[in-house]
Amino acid sequence: MCGRYTLDPTKLSLKEFRVSQVRYTPPARFNIAPTTGIAVVRQDPKDGRELVEMRWGLIPVWAKADSKLPLMINARAETVASKPSYRSAFKSRRCIVPATGYYEWKKLPDGTKQPYYFTRANGGVLAFGAIWEGETVATITTAPNREASAVHDRMPVILRDDQYERWFSPEPLSEEE
């Protein structure tokens, strides 16, 4: 799930995310891949919300620098609170990855893969729920909605603007949340 996405910064409203510190100005990118630097909105306890650049591919705090861990670009919503690789970050380092769309590939009967591009119906910015550790980040995935299920068995957790405050809250999220 969600191994490629796009960001058109002209559609990014820092007011929408209540960003008070801009530490990174993202360029327009239409094929953002894992291991690259991406725009992330995170909560700084002293300075409020900040827009920063982080590497897409979470490295857990306990991992050794030269570790050959698999690339952790996505964390499953069903296990993000309990898996050792993610639980600490999920508890206190939740963030948002802004995107204008994302790609999923559907395997066709002949074995080829057909890309599909998902966006908001109104053309606005998607807010992927994510977690961060150090200077790295992983997006969170969930079961697909009706539209995405026709293409793939996972999709990014997409937060509504009325969920941002709770997402950034230092209080633990309930299992339902």
What is the CA 30 to chain-centroid distance, rounded?
16
Q: What share of the chain is helix, strand, coil (3-state, %, to 5)?
A: 10, 40, 50
Tell me, yes or no, if 147 is annotated catalytic: no
- Residues 128 and 73: their CA atoms lie apart, in Å, by 12
Tell me, yes or no, if 2 is annotated catalytic: yes
- Residues 165 and 82: their CA atoms lie apart, in Å, by 23
* Whole-structure pTM value: 0.94
pLDDT tens-digit series, residues 75-120: 999 999 999 999 999 999 999 999 999 999 999 999 999 999 999 9
Phi-psi region of 34 (alpha: psi -120 to 50; beta: other; left: phi over 0): beta
Find the catalytic residue in 50, 95, 104, 133.
Answer: 104
Find the catalytic residue in 2, 50, 95, 133.
Answer: 2
Confidence of residue 71 (pLDDT cuts 50, 70, 90): confident
139: exposed, middle or buried (Cβ count in 10 Å: 0-12, 13-18, 19+): buried
Q: Which two tokens stand for residue 46?
A: 């002293």
**Structure confidence at residue 2 (pLDDT):** 76
Terminal-residue alpha carbon distance, the chain: 21
pLDDT tens-digit series, residues 114-162: 999 999 999 999 999 999 999 999 999 999 999 999 999 999 999 999 9
